[in-house]
C-alpha cells in the first residue's frame, strides 16, 4: 500500500541550537549508559574522531563559540543540537565560508566532537513510508481536534467525552496500533496536533511530519533549521469548508517561528523571533482571532557556564504576529535592555538585568493572555521573573503581575565549581516551567492555577492576580518540582511532581507522584506517590512525572520518568492501567522505535479510540528514546496482551 518514503528537502541553519540547562551535563551520560540498546541513534565517539575534532574546534571555532562572541551560540548551546545539523551549517549554511578549507572528514569530526556523538549514517528523510491513495488525502470534514497546547483555551488539558471514546473500562483493551521511529533522535517531546485525518508533529532532527492518523504513513515532511521540541498549532476551519487551506505553526530551538500550509507542508513564512544568539522557542504558539502569540525563551542560562561569556543580555518577550504573514503587531519585553555592571574574576564583562524567559504554554480568556515566566540570569532581581502575568491580547499591556518570589537570579555557572558568572546571592532556580491553567471554582469565580519548580501550586483570582491559596506539593529542585503542565477538571487540579535527585540537600523528602487538589481550597483530594523499585537501577530511570498531563471524565493520563504511561482514577487516584513504553516497537517502515522516559511539554492525547504519546527523553539524565506510539482500543472488549504491544 505504501511506497518507501523519499522527499527532497532544503536544509536551513540558524545560530542558537540548544536545549535546557543540564542536558549536556546529564542527558548525554544517560544516552551513553543506554547505548547497548540504542547504538543506532546514540553512537559514541571514538578516540581518533575526538582527537581530530577537538584540535580543529580549538583552532577554528573556540575563539567565537567558547564565550568570546556574545552573538555566536556558545559551545554549550551547540552541543544540544545534532551533529547532522552542525555539519549542514559547515557545508551549506552559515558556517560554509569559515569551513571552506576543510575536508568532509574534518567537518564531520568537528560536528561529532561538539555534540559528543557520531552522525547517524542513515538518511533522516527516508524514515517512514509515503502515503498512497486515500491515505494521502486530507479530509476537511474532520476539523481540528485540539486548537490549543492546553487542549482548550484555558489550558486545562481536559479531553471531553465528545473527543475521547476510550473510557476507564476500555483501557485494558488498548494495544499498539502503529509506531514511528524518529530518525537521528534520542528524545521525543513535541505535542501533536490533530485534524483532517492527520497527525502533525515535530522532532529532534528538525523534521516536522504530517502522518495519516489511521495508518501512520507520511503525507508530507518539512525540514526546520533545528529541533522542534514545542507543540504544533493547527489553524481551525469549518467542517463544511471544502476549500480551506489551514496553516500549521511551530518554532525551533534556534528561535525561528514557522508557518506552513498544513495540506502540503509548503513554507508560508519564517521569522527569527529575536537576534540574540541564544534565542530559542519552547512554548507552543497560541492562535486567536488571526493573531499568533509567540513566547520567546533562551539558552543563555546554560551558556553562562563559560568564564569568557559576557553574562548576560537576553530578555524574554511575548510577540503578537499576524498569523497569515508573520508581521509583528506588538512585542512585550519583561526587562529593560541589559547594561554593563562589572567584570567577573576572569576579566570578562558582566551585564544585567537579564533573563525572564517564557518556557511554558499560555492560557487565553476573552481579551487576556496569561503566561508564566522564568528566573533572572543576572542583575539584582526583577519584578517580572518567576511570575504569572496577565496581558491584554490586543496591546500586550500588563493587566497584573503576581510574582512567586523575588531574587531568583540564577544561571548555569551556579552549578559549576568556580561559579564565575553566578550571582553572589543566587536563587534556587524555582521558576515556572509549567503553563498556567484558567478555570472556574465552585462559586463561578475565574481562577488561574500555576505550579513551579519549587513544587508550589498557587490559585490566583483571574481578575486581579490576588492569591487565593498555596500548597507546596513537591520538594522542588533544579529539574524537579512541577516541570511542564497541570490539568484541571471536575473541581480538581491534578499535579505531576518529578522531584528527581539533583545533587542538592533538602530539608524535606522528595515527593514524586500525582496529586489532586481541591480548586476551591487547595486541600488534597487524593495523593498517589510514585511507585518505588520499578527502575531496578536502570540508568536514567526515576520515579515521578515531569511531562505535561491530561484528564478525561474518568481518569488522569500521565507519562512517567520511568517510561510508564499510567491512568489514575479521577476520584480516588487509584492506578487503573499502565503501559510500559521502554521497550522496542516495530515502526510502520519496519525500523525499531525505542521508548524511554516520558518528559517535556507534551501531554498524552486521547482522540477517538486512540491514545497518542511520545516516549524518549535524553535530558537531565533520563532514558533516551525516539518513539511515537499510537495505541488503539480493541473491538469487542478484547483485553490486550503484552505481545500485542511490543515488537517481536
Residues 110 and 197 in one domain: no
Residue 367, pLDDT > 60, answer yes
Helices (H), 257-383: 300-303
Is 111 in the same domain as 144? no
* Percentage of residues of the chain with pLDDT beyond 70: 88
Q: Give the separation between CA 594 and CA 578, rounded to whole angstroms.
A: 18
| Structural domain includes residue 385 | yes
Put the strands of the sheet holding 524-529 in their side by side order: 487-489, 492-497, 513-518, 524-529
* 124 assigned to some structural domain: no
Q: Does residue 101 belong to any structural domain of this protein?
A: yes
Residue 640: CATH number of its domain: 2.140.10.10
pLDDT at 409 over 60: yes
User: What tens digit of pLDDT does each residue of 251-260 get?
Assistant: 998 899 999 9
52, 200: one domain: no
Interior CA angle at 212 toward 206 and 213, to 5°? 105
Same domain, 345 and 207: yes
Residue 466 to residue 459: CA distance in whole angstroms: 9
CA 368/CA 390 separation, integer angstroms? 6
- The predicted-structure confidence for 268-285, as pLDDT tens digits, reads as follows 999 999 999 889 999 999
Residue 413 has pLDDT above 60, yes or no: yes
Check residue 34 and give its pLDDT: 35
Residue 126 counted as domain residue: no
Question: For residue 392, what are the β-bridge partners?
Answer: 368
Question: For residues 335 and 261, is the Cβ–Cβ distance under 8 A?
Answer: no
Residue 203: count of CB within 10 angstroms of its CB:
27
Q: Give the strand pairing for 286-288 and 354-355.
A: unpaired
- Assess contact for 557 and 174: CB atoms under 8 A: no
Within this chain, do residues 387 and 350 fall inside the same structural domain, yes or no? yes
DSSP letter for 124, please: G
pLDDT tens for 281-334 read 999 999 999 999 999 999 888 888 888 889 999 999 999 999 999 999 999 999
Q: Residues, the chain, total?
A: 648
Q: Where a domain ends, among 47, 80, 115?
A: 115
Residues 361 and 410 in one domain: yes
For residue 342, give the DSSP letter: E
Give dist(CA 644, CA 172) in Å, integer.
12
Confidence of residue 73 (pLDDT cuts 50, 70, 90): low
**Domain identity same for 84 and 142:** no
Q: Does an H or E element contain 592, and which?
A: strand 592-594
Q: What is the average pLDDT across 213-225?
A: 97
Asked whether residue 17 carries a pLDDT value surpassing 60, the answer given is: no
Q: Is residue 309 part of a domain?
A: yes
Q: Which helix (H) or strand (E) holds 495?
A: strand 492-497
Residue 496 C-beta-side C-alpha neighbours within 13 Å: 36
Number of domains within the chain: 2
What pLDDT band is residue 76 in, cutting at 50, 70 and 90? Answer: low
Q: How confident is the model at residue 8 (pLDDT cuts 50, 70, 90)?
A: very low
Is 271 within a domain? Answer: yes
Whether residue 286 is found in the same domain as residue 344: yes
How much is the average pLDDT of 169-189?
95
Is the CB of residue 143 less than 8 Å from the CB of residue 137? Answer: no
Could you give the dihedral angle defined by the CA atoms of residues 318, 290, 229 and 143, in that order, rounded to the nearest 10 degrees? 150
Domain hosting 28: range is 9-115
Per-residue confidence at 354, pLDDT binned at 50, 70, 90?
very high
Q: What is the tens place of the pLDDT at every residue in 115-140?
A: 888 887 778 889 999 999 999 999 99
- Helices 47-60 & 104-115, crossing angle to 10 degrees? 100
| Domain end (from 115, 150, 180) | 115
Per-residue pLDDT band at 19 (split at 50, 70, 90) = very low
Q: What is the DSSP string of 407-476?
A: --B--GGGGSSS-TTS-TT--------SBPEEEE-TTS-EEEEEE-TTSEEEEEETTT--EEEEEE-S--
The reply to whether 125 falls in a domain is: no
Element of type H or E holding 50: helix 47-60
CATH of the domain at 78: 1.10.760
> pLDDT value at position 240?
85
Residues 158, 67: one domain?
no
Task: Tell me if the bond preceding 62 is cis, omega within 30° of 0.
Answer: no
CA 486 from centroid of its chain's CA atoms: 14
Helix-strand-coil percent breakdown of the chain, rounded to 5?
A: 15, 30, 55
Does the pLDDT value for residue 243 go beyond 70? yes
Residues 439 and 461 sit within 8 Å (Cβ to Cβ) = no
Q: Between residues 456 and 307, which one has the greater pLDDT?
A: 456
What's residue 68's pLDDT?
52
Considering the domain boundaries, does residue 455 fall inside one? yes
- State how far the alpha carbon of 447 is from the alpha carbons of 192, 193, 374, 458, in Å: 27, 27, 21, 10
Residue 13 confidence (pLDDT): 21
**Cα→Cα distances 286→234, 262, 460, 556, Å:** 10, 16, 22, 24
3-state secondary structure at position 242: coil
Using CA atoms, how far apart are residues 361 and 261, in angstroms rounded to an integer? 23
Judgement on whether residues 25 and 86 belong to the same structural domain of the protein: yes
* Whether 18 and 143 share a structural domain: no
Mean pLDDT in residue range 584-591: 97
Average pLDDT, the chain: 88
pLDDT at 9 (0 to 100): 25
406 lies in the same domain as 437: yes
Q: What is the mean pLDDT of residues 385-404?
A: 98
pLDDT in tens, 26-49: 333 333 333 333 344 455 778 888
Q: 356: pLDDT confidence band, cut at 50, 70 and 90?
A: very high
Q: Coil, strand or helix: which one is 556? A: strand
State the DSSP string of 271-284.
EES--STTEE--SP
pTM of the model: 0.87
Q: Residue 616 in contact with residue 187, Cβ under 8 Å?
A: yes
With contact defined as beta carbons under 8 Å apart, do 258 and 287 qualify?
no
Burial-class residue 635 by CB neighbours within 10 Å (0-12, 13-18, 19+). exposed
Asked if residue 238 has pLDDT above 80, the reply is yes
DSSP 308: T
For residue 475, which of 451, 450, 453, 444 has the smallest C-alpha distance? 453
Instruction: Calculate ∠ Cα 355-359-363, nearest 5°.
Output: 120
Amino acid at each position: 500500500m505504501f511506497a518507501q518514503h523519499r522527499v527532497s528537502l532544503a536544509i536551513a541553519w540558524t545560530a542558537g541550537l540548544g536545549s535546557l540547562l543540564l542536558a549536556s551535563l546529564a542527558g548525554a551520560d544517560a544516552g551513553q549508559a543506554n547505548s547497548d540498546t540504542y547504538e543506532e541513534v546514540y553512537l559514541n565517539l571514538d578516540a581518533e574522531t575526538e582527537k581530530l575534532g577537538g584540535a580543529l574546534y580549538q583552532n577554528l571555532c573556540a575563539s567565537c563559540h567558547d564565550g568570546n562572541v556574545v552573538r555566536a551560540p556558545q559551545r554549550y548551546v551547540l552541543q544540544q543540537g545534532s551533529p547532522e545539523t552542525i555539519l549542514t551549517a559547515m557545508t551549506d549554511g552559515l558556517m560554509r565560508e569559515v569551513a571552506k578549507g576543510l575536508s568532509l572528514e574534518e567537518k564531520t569530526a568537528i560536528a561529532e566532537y561538539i555534540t559528543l556523538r557520531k552522525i547517524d549514517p542513515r538518511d533522516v528523510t527516508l524514515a517512514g513510508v509515503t502515503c498512497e491513495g486515500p491515505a494521502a488525502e486530507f479530509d476537511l470534514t474532520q476539523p481540528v481536534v485540539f486548537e490549543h497546547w492546553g487542549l482548550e483555551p484555558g489550558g486545562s488539558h481536559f479531553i471531553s467525552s465528545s473527543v475521547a471514546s476510550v473510557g476507564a473500562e476500555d483501557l485494558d483493551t488498548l494495544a499498539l496500533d502503529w509506531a514511528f521511529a524518529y530518525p537521528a533522535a534520542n528524545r521525543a517531546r513535541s505535542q501533536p496536533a490533530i485534524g483532517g485525518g492527520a497527525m502533525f508533529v515535530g522532532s529532534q532532527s528538525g523534521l516536522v511530519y504530517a502522518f495519516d492518523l489511521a495508518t501512520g504513513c507520511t503525507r508530507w515532511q518539512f525540514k526546520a533549521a533545528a529541533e522542534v521540541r514545542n507543540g504544533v498549532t493547527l489553524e481551525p476551519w469549518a467542517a463544511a469548508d471544502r476549500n480551506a487551506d489551514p496553516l500549521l505553526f511551530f518554532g525551533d530551538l534556534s528561535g525561528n517561528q514557522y508557518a506552513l500550509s498544513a495540506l502540503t507542508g509548503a513554507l508560508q513564512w519564517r521569522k527569527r523571533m529575536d537576534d540574540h544568539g541564544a534565542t530559542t522557542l519552547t512554548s507552543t504558539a497560541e492562535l486567536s482571532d488571526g493573531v499568533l502569540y509567540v513566547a520567546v525563551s533562551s539558552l543563555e542560562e546554560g551558556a553562562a557556564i563559560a568564564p569568557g561569556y559576557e553574562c548576560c543580555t537576553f530578555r524574554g518577550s511575548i510577540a503578537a504576529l499576524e498569523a497569515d504573514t508573520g508581521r509583528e503587531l506588538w512585542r512585550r519585553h519583561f526587562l529593560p535592555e541589559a547594561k554593563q555592571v562589572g567584570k567577573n574574576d576572569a576579566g570578562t564583562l558582566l551585564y544585567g538585568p537579564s533573563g525572564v524567559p517564557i518556557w511554558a504554554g499560555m492560557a487565553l480568556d476573552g481579551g487576556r493572555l496569561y503566561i508564566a515566566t522564568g528566573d533572572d540570569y543576572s542583575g539584582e532581581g526583577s519584578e517580572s521573573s518567576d511570575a504569572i502575568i496577565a496581558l491584554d491580547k490586543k496591546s500586550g499591556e500588563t493587566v497584573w503581575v503576581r510574582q512567586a518570589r523575588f531574587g531568583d537570579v540564577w544561571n548555569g555557572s551556579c552549578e559549576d565549581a568556580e561559579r564565575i558568572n553566578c550571582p553572589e546571592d543566587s536563587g534556587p532556580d524555582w521558576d515556572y516551567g509549567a503553563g498556567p491553567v484558567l478555570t472556574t471554582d465552585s462559586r463561578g469565580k475565574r481562577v488561574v492555577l500555576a505550579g513551579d519548580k519549587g513544587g508550589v501550586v498557587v490559585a490566583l483570582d483571574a481578575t486581579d492576580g490576588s492569591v487565593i491559596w498555596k500548597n507546596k506539593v513537591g520538594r522542588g529542585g533544579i529539574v524537579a518540582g512541577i516541570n511542564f503542565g497541570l490539568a484541571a477538571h471536575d473541581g480538581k487540579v491534578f499535579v505531576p511532581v518529578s522531584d528527581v535527585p539533583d545533587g542538592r540537600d533538602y530539608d524535606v523528602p522528595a515527593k514524586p507522584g500525582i496529586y489532586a487538589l481541591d480548586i476551591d481550597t487547595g486541600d488534597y483530594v487524593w495523593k498517589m506517590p510514585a511507585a518505588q523499585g520499578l527502575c531496578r537501577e536502570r540508568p536514567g530511570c526515576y520515579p515521578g512525572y515531569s511531562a505535561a498531563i491530561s484528564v478525561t471524565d474518568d481518569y488522569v493520563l500521565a507519562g512517567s520518568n520511568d517510561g510508564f504511561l499510567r491512568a489514575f482514577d479521577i476520584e480516588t487516584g487509584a492506578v487503573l492501567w499502565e503501559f510500559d513504553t521502554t521497550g522496542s516497537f516495530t515502526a510502520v517502515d519496519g525500523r525499531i522505535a525505542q521508548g524511554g522516559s516520558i518528559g517535556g511539554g507534551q501531554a498524552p492525547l486521547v482522540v477517538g479510540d486512540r491514545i497518542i504519546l511520545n516516549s524518549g527523553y535524553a535530558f537531565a539524565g533520563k532514558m533516551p528514546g525516539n518513539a511515537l506510539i499510537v495505541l488503539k482500543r480493541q473491538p469487542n472488549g478484547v483485553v490486550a496482551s503484552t505481545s500485542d504491544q511490543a515488537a517481536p
